[in-house]
Amino acid sequence: MNPLLKKIIRSGVGRVRFIMATIGLGVALLLILLAVQTQVNFDDLLHGKYNENETADFLVINKEVNKENQTQKDKNVFSDADIADFKKQSFTQSIGPLTATRFGVTLQSYSNELPFSTDMSFESVPDEFIDIKSKDWKWEEGQKDLPIIIPSFFLDLYNFGMAQSREELPQISPEALMMISIKVTISGNGQSLEIPGHVIGMTDRINSVLIPESFMNWANAKFGYQQQQPRITRVVVKTQDPSDPELTNYLKEKKLSTNEDKTRFSKARTAVNIIVKVLAGFGIIMLLFALLVFSLFIQLTIASCKTEIELLITLGTSPGQLSRFLMKQFFPANVLIMLVCAAIIAVLQYAACTWLKSQNMYVSPWISWYTIAAAMAVLAMVWWVYRSTIRRYVNAQ
């Protein structure tokens, strides 16, 4: 029946308009798919970079110390409400306080080969935030050895700074450092205690000299000056994605600071987000216009064949048959456009993959499922507009 209908219903009316609308749809589809694919690639890069070995990152966060508040150290602390609010944020996986010593600490060397003596302070943090897995990382009351974790850069500072500055100072390897006993003297409340300490590991995660929480609590109680309640000056936050713009905005808004190197990627990401949104926005506007033109075009075709369609209906052609016929006339062009767009994106993706590989970045060489799903969604939308327009105008005859 369709070849006959094709002769009766001249769908050639306004062919140019139809082609223009189809091209418009093509461009719209291309923009939308490009936006989706870019987003997917960017996520790939992000997770490729941060998720190779670890599934999360840790940020040590403190209140900004500035000219105005530097004299009020009581103010630069996290209240319970601050921490509760932080916990609520979507980017926070967990949060732990860093506890500081409230007593004096000096470290001294036992050996004469490496003589040193320095004032120091410790911090402690719940064990789940520590990346050094060592059986020595524990302290019980009465234990005559204090395990210590230092930031890696302390050793670098010594080896490449201090040791270079004085001819008689040797460089120290991490293994050697861990063998050395250190005399730790703590004092406060008119008492003092000497205890040998050991560096049991070095970390890049937390920029502080750490001791076990159990020792910290015991010593703070015994030697610490009195506080109405413990002050939390720094927190460590476990997050899936330190470059999450939401996180950086939150820090900025609450006047908090952290290791900016970890959050720096966030700026690039914000830029990409804007580009993706602009692309998608233009794409969607063009899509809407294309849909409008398609719908007008169908109306035009139906109106220009009003008499013929009336006679077909008089002879018994069902609205369903007419809709199916009209759908067959118009819709395949859109399917074709979708395939072309998907092919273009696939080629671009392959090219992007090759180029990024030369820059040591990895993205999938294949078009993503999200992109294909987006294309299908657009096509479904076009189909729906066709169907409802055809139904409405055929039934009106």
Binding site for another protein (CB under 8 A): 1, 4, 7-8, 308, 311, 313-321, 395
Task: State the nearest-atom distance from the C-beta of 323 to another protein, in Å.
Answer: 11
Q: How far apart are the first and last CA of the chain?
A: 20
Residue 354, number of CB atoms within 10 A of its CB: 10
CA max distance for the chain: 112
Pick from 100, 104, 105, 111: nearest CA to 177: 111
List all residues 6 or more positions away from 73 whose beta carbon is below 8 Å from its beta carbon: none
Tell me whether residue 11 or residue 38 sits nearer to another protein (CB atom).
11
Q: Which residue has the tokens 């003092």?
A: 192
To another protein, the closest distance from the beta carbon of 317 in angstroms equals: 6
CB of 380 to another protein, least distance (A): 24
Minimum CB separation of residue 395 from another protein in Å reads 6
Q: CB-wise, 174 or 320, nearer to another protein?
A: 320
Q: How far apart are CA 88 and CA 380, in angstroms?
A: 38
Residues 169 and 188: beta-carbon distance below 8 Å: no
Asked if residues 136 and 112 have their Cβ atoms less than 8 Å apart, the reply is no
| Alpha helices (runs of H) in 184-318, residue ranges in sequence order | 213-223, 245-253, 260-263, 265-304, 306-314
Query: Is the CB of 240 or the CB of 321 nearer to another protein?
Result: 321
Q: Among residues 8 and 288, whose Cβ is nearest to another protein?
A: 8
CA angle 35, 36, 41 (to 5 degrees): 100
Minimum CB separation of residue 5 from another protein in Å reads 8
Find the shortest distance in angstroms from Cβ 31 to another protein.
39
Distance of CA 338 to the CA centre of its chain: 31
Q: How far is the CB of 303 from another protein (least distance, A)?
A: 18
If one counts every other C-beta atom within 10 angstroms of the C-beta of residue 27, the result is 16
Query: What are the beta bridge partners of residue 98?
Result: 234
> Measured from the CB of residue 396, what is the shortest distance to another protein in angstroms?
10
Phi-psi region of 14 (alpha: psi -120 to 50; beta: other; left: phi over 0): left
Which of 267, 275, 287 is CA-nearest to residue 379? Answer: 287
